[in-house]
Structure 1
Amino acid sequence: MLEQRIQQHFFDSADLKYAAVDVLSRPIHDAAHALLGCITSGGKVLACGSGGAVLLAQHAAAQLVGQFERERPSLAAVALGADAALLNALARSGQGEQMLARQVQALGHPGDLLLAISTGDSAPDVLAAIEVAHDKEMAVIALTGEAGGDLAGVLTDTDVCIAVPNQRAARVLEAQLLVIHCLCDTVDLQLLGDH
């Protein structure tokens, strides 16, 4: 019984990825162009997330600064929200939900890009970061679940929403990791050419 449940996780994850390819390929393509435009014009990527998506934001930034699958020069990217001292200071002052927004305010510039990640549930800290990014004339790529959740409601026509068509946070996170890898591969392909 336990083994069947484990196998079902694999089947569900694979089924979602197969079902989502037609829905997600165009938004991923658009996001890759926005990401490449930011990087080639000297901008930087600020990546943030809520809940389990914090780790995906850190992973995305690491893949851009380090490398994905090929050696290349480092690209400017920062994962927001990883500063425990800042989080503690803002939490003590009652501004914990503003941590990401304050970092975007301090680090973001016109031409930069905010990669905002949520599984689709309410993410007030990420929403606040998107609002500040818009104020600073930054592009936004939102990775979310289902129909975009709260994040889709604050995006502009120039932003890109990649909404994984599922409600389960675990499945959404798995698909979002694949999306991040697609974005990194596309950037490398455009910057370095084919293998």
Structure 2
Amino acid sequence: MTLLTEPLAFSTGSAEAAGSGAVAMAQALAAHRAVFDQLEAQAAPLAEMAERLTACLSAGGKLLLCGQGASVPLARYLAGRLAGRSARGRRPLAVLALSADGVPWGDGDGLDLYARQVRGLGRPGDALLALSTSVEPAAAGAPTLLLNAVQAAREEGLSILGLLGPDNLALQQACHLSLLTPAAAQVHQQEAQMFLGHLLCGLIEVGLGLG
């Protein structure tokens, strides 16, 4: 075995690579700012959604969240923020992210995955928050995971809210109230969705006197 007697040399990249990185960052930041500059249009629906969820939770109801695609982990994160104990030691809230695991809830094609959980857990006075920035199926009226959940929530008497991308037209129409991310590349929609989710959680905490 040959022992190394000289220190290893690692390349830090050429000036050309550094320049390409700077250009890519500048372009990404410009696109990010363009999206976030449009979010002020969501201030009124954000405040209304926070009021509805504050009223729901203060009256003893619970909030169910469900996501699609990249919004699945965000639904879990937001539920954890509200249900968990914060650094201020406030009490946990009745908030639950529905399971995205197909066992044991889903049957058949799996499109009832969330709907069955809504029927099992939801009660009149509760709320469902559906999250998605995914493009919907091309076929008009095609059932989807979230649309089925929303339909179940409607039948069970839940308040139906959405944190959605601009192309989620069927979901927007099915919800009582929605927050919409601006039209942009999906990655920037997801960034905006998380920002709106953070704001929503903060407003709920303030509304409940926990902020």
Please give the range of the TM-score, normalised by the shorter of the 2 chains. Answer: 0.7 to 0.9
Q: Secondary structure at the match of 2:112?
A: helix
Instruction: Evaluate the alpha carbon distance shift between residue 178 and residue 67 of structure 1 in structure 2; reply closer, same or farther with a 3 A threshold.
Output: farther
Instruction: Evaluate the alpha carbon distance shift between residue 68 and residue 119 of structure 1 in structure 2; reply closer, same or farther with a 3 A threshold.
Output: farther
Using the TM superposition, name which of 1-10 and 55-64 deviates more.
Answer: 1-10
Instruction: Evaluate the alpha carbon distance shift between residue 82 and residue 120 of structure 1 in structure 2; reply closer, same or farther with a 3 A threshold.
Output: closer
Q: Is the 8 A contact 1:46 1:79 kept in 2?
A: yes
TM (norm. structure 2) is 0.81
Instruction: Evaluate the alpha carbon distance shift between residue 73 and residue 48 of structure 1 in structure 2; reply closer, same or farther with a 3 A threshold.
Output: same
Give distance in 1, aligned partners of 2:85 and 2:35.
27
Q: 177, 185, 200: which one pairs with 1:160?
A: 177
What is the RMSD of the two structures over their aligned residues, measured on CA atoms?
Answer: 1.9
State the match for 2:6 in structure 1. Answer: none
Gaps of 5+ in 2: 1-19, 138-143
State the match for 2:202 in structure 1. Answer: 185
* C-alpha displacement of 1:168: 2.0
Q: Is the 8 A contact 2:66 2:98 kept in 1?
A: yes
Q: 118, 126, 130: which one pairs with 2:150?
A: 130
Q: 79, 89, 92: which one pairs with 1:71?
A: 89
Q: Which has the larger radius of gyration?
A: 2
Structure number with higher helix proportion? 1
- Corresponding letter in the other structure for 2:128: L
Instruction: Evaluate the alpha carbon distance shift between residue 148 and residue 84 of structure 1 in structure 2; reply closer, same or farther with a 3 A threshold.
Output: closer
Gaps of 5+ in 1: none
Q: Secondary structure at the match of 1:143?
A: strand
- Corresponding letter in the other structure for 2:55: G
Residue by residue over 1:66-110, the C-alpha shift from the partner in whole angstroms, topping out at 9 and shown as x without a partner, is: 1456431000111113335336xx3xx423111011110111100
* C-alpha displacement of 1:167: 3.7
Q: Secondary structure at the match of 1:121?
A: coil
State the match for 1:80 in structure 2. Answer: 98
1:104 matched to 2:122? The reply is no
Q: Secondary structure at the match of 1:142?
A: strand
Give the fraction of aligned pairs with identical amino acids, expressed as a percent.
30
Give distance in 2, aligned partners of 1:50 and 1:165.
18
State the match for 1:54 in structure 2. Answer: 72
